[in-house]
Amino acid sequence: MIVVTGAAGLIGCAVVRELNRRGIDDIILVDHMGTTDKWMNLRTLQYREYVEKDDFFYHIEENHELYAKSEAFIHLGACSSTMEKDASYLMRNNYQYSIGLAEYCMEHNIRMVYASSAATYGEGENGFDDSEEHIEKLLPLNPYGYSKQAFDLWLKRIKFAPSFAGIKYFNIFGPNEYHKDNMMSLVLKAYYQIRDEGKLRLFKSYKPEYKDGEQKRDFLYVEDAAKMTVYLALDNTKANGLFNSGRGEANTWLDLADAIFSAMGKEKNIEFVDMPDYIKERYQYYTCAPMDKLKKAGYKEPATPLKDAVADYVKNYLLQNERRA
């Protein structure tokens, strides 16, 4: 049996789809759906049982013999909003909850793969190396990034033993992200803007070394992120520590915009707008995920090229009014 927390989220449901593709359906899904439409992300998935996040530790206690024999916990559940200001909530939800799961996995020697975040890298002033050696030097720019960093550091103190792997997801996009509100990817936001207004708004740059629209990100299709996650959970259970999850290539917002306009069959029309002050102080101008470590761990599947990934998302989902995989 495999446990997937955050199973109704963007990456979580893609991970469950990937498990289903492998013929695995003995899966416990854990999430908190509340009044959102996240439940719709589960409709095509095959699984054993769904458990609400707040009931999960009780459920483990009541079904101890079942959970103690789990093959893996894939822990993706978290508040992932970089705009969340309640640091106490983030530490309870992202840090302390994760520690509780980790302690259970240690006690029963269960493989645990969990979502760290590229947000732990902060502005990137210390690079994007996924080695655990220098993670104390990283300076996250927001409480969300810090809550993820805190759990990474907690695991480092126990040397990621006996079997923990953290995945630092970069800019993930793809179907089933519609519940994310302001945290939706630019691909989806751009689709709505272009469809409704005929143009795309991008933030101006406030650093002279970056022209408007030439800020760079490492964009990764969610299906690729899911494959990397399942590989670490099931295929190489001896690969411990932190691993980046990206394409290993930084593209500009203009590159991404070109791919979106092309997939929609529209002429490019971009307006550069002022960046709100509350974003300026937390804005990353460049991210890129070195992928050497995951490749050395044996992962060989190439990531989907950006243009192809955007085309698949836009043409096969958004333009078909099929918002979910």
Q: Which active-site residues does the annotation give?
A: 144, 180
Question: In 3D, which of 148, 32, 158 has the Cα closest to residue 98?
Answer: 148
Question: In 3D, which of 179, 261, 176, 251 has the Cα closest to residue 220?
Answer: 251
Question: In 3D, which of 101, 145, 104, 102 has the Cα closest to residue 123?
Answer: 145
Name the H helices within 120-276.
143-157, 186-197, 222-230, 253-264
Helix axes 306-313, 253-264, angle to 10 degrees: 40
Asked if 247 and 218 touch (Cβ cutoff 8 Å), the reply is yes
Name the helix (H) or strand (E) containing 14: helix 10-21
Asked if 31 and 77 touch (Cβ cutoff 8 Å), the reply is yes
272: β partners: 202
